Amino acid sequence: MARYAIISDIHGNLQAFQAVLKHMAGQEVEELICLGDIVGYGPAPGCCVDLVCKYCSIVVKGNHDEAVVDPYTATQFNGVARKAIDWTAGVLGPLHMTALNQLGAIAHLSDEVMCIHDCPAPGPSDYVHDQAMASIALRGMDRPICLLGHTHVPIVFEAPTGEPDEPVQPHQIIAHIPRAGESIHLDPQKRYICNPGSVGQPRDADPRASYAVLDLDARSFTIERVKYDIAAVQLDTQEVGLPAILAERLAIGA
């Protein structure tokens, strides 16, 4: 069996993460893979790091994870994101900071699957949100399937294999936007960029936590959406003194 739960962008939202863990218990997955941004924005970063360390077999570092442990990277964040980074760095203990610091940027699940937080092409951190960016991302892939997060929007880009000296053009790429429970078939003759969406701060106008199940035997990538207690996280966000917008946006999935 080669069945994996794929999570990304938990962002310190413990209630969403716990709801996802409970939901995936019925999915018969053998491993849990985390694509980074465990912390940042949400009020429970330490608990989320603990759960990721406990349950995930592969974890890659997100840009927020990096910013929390690296003051220079933090300077590249503005506004509420920077406030949340600074707050998070202030509340995490040395063990949590070490756990985040030790994460690598890229991991390989198999000969067929690579894992990264953002765009695999060389250069600064970037969002793979459309076919133009997917065509750039394909150039950085060293496996036919790339699992990534960062945009907080569940999506699958399907591309032809392409030739090394003939990059795939944006018009050759199909963007699938899966609904909850919908599976995208992974054709062995094609390449894929698969984004499971965000556990802790979805931005596709659906406030439910998002994750995916990758089944390499059935060759499917299935998006799952899970309801959780948003009001409780909003209250926690307010109580620790994080900016109000970080609580408000959870209710609208933005």
Q: What residues make contact with Zn ion under the rule CB under 5 A?
A: 9, 37
- With beta carbons less than 8 A apart as the criterion, state whether 199 and 211 touch: yes
Q: What is residue 41's three-state secondary structure?
A: coil
Residue (9 or 224) nearer to Zn ion, CB = 9
Least distance in angstroms from the C-beta of 41 to Zn ion: 8
Least distance in angstroms from the C-beta of 218 to Zn ion: 28
At 215, list the tokens: 């089944």
Q: What angle do CA 239, 11, 119 make, to 5 degrees?
A: 155
160 strand-pairing partners? 190
The half-sphere exposure of 146 on its side-chain side, counting CA atoms within 13 A, is 27
- With beta carbons less than 8 A apart as the criterion, state whether 247 and 238 touch: yes
Residue (15 or 195) nearer to Zn ion, CB = 195
- With beta carbons less than 8 A apart as the criterion, state whether 203 and 247 touch: no
Phi-psi region of 19 (alpha: psi -120 to 50; beta: other; left: phi over 0): alpha
Residue (36 or 178) nearer to Zn ion, CB = 36
Least distance in angstroms from the C-beta of 64 to Zn ion: 6
Least distance in angstroms from the C-beta of 24 to Zn ion: 20
Residue (81 or 107) nearer to Zn ion, CB = 81
- With beta carbons less than 8 A apart as the criterion, state whether 157 and 173 touch: yes
- With beta carbons less than 8 A apart as the criterion, state whether 210 and 202 touch: yes
Q: CA 214 → CA 5, 35, 201, distances in Å?
A: 6, 13, 21
Least distance in angstroms from the C-beta of 231 to Zn ion: 22
Least distance in angstroms from the C-beta of 56 to Zn ion: 16
Least distance in angstroms from the C-beta of 86 to Zn ion: 17
At 111, list the tokens: 């000969």
Residue (9 or 158) nearer to Zn ion, CB = 9
Residue (55 or 77) nearer to Zn ion, CB = 77
Residue (37 or 224) nearer to Zn ion, CB = 37
Q: What angle do CA 184, 190, 195 make, to 5 degrees?
A: 45
Q: How far apart are CA 182 and CA 173, in angstroms?
A: 20
